Amino acid sequence: MNSLQRLLLFCGLCAICFGNGNCNDLVPEDVKEDIRVLATHFDISRPDLLEGGALFIKALNSFEQQESEEKLLLNEILNLYIKIFDNMNNVEEDKTLAERIHHIKIRLSHLKNATFQETSTNLKQQLELLWNIKVNDPVVQRKAVFELNQVLQKAENVGRKMHEKKEKQRRRRQAKLLRRRMQ
């Protein structure tokens, strides 16, 4: 991984931590300071940083996500950051900078393990089980038919909730537009 790639990945972390006002309030001051020092060291103000677009923010904002999807996505993003910081730490010669990188990596690991690990691991395990189902097995086919009504009920319920949520959002947008026009 070259320094530009490391810089882009680092900027993604900065965007995640500083891009959202609420998130910024949750990041400990010492971690914010470590990020500021790294941002200065890696010169994140360079215009070539914008080439190719965002790395992680694009994924987080690319589609409307359910909470479980967002947790899974954030878990994977944090995994990538941990790998990136491991790599950066291995090549960094400046001991002070290496300590800051390590400190951020520890914070990322703690956040990942405390917040996202269990949900993500359970979801991944369930997906692995589903992906390993042998669809040409007659017993599996009979079980699938047996469970079909329950699965369809669940899918219809989730679909209805998603439709209702989108409909509420659409109504709010229309009401907001109407209020603006009336002013």
CB 35 within 8 A of CB 107: no
CB atoms within 10 A of CB 57: 16
pLDDT, tens digit only, all 183 positions of the chain = 556 566 556 656 555 555 444 444 678 898 889 998 888 888 888 887 777 777 788 777 766 667 777 777 888 888 888 999 888 888 878 888 889 999 999 998 888 888 776 666 777 787 788 889 888 888 888 888 888 788 778 878 878 887 888 899 889 999 988 888 888
Instruction: State residue 23's pLDDT score.
Output: 47
Please name which of 104, 59, 60 lies closest in space to residue 82, comparing C-alpha atoms.
104
Which pLDDT score is estimated for 16? 56
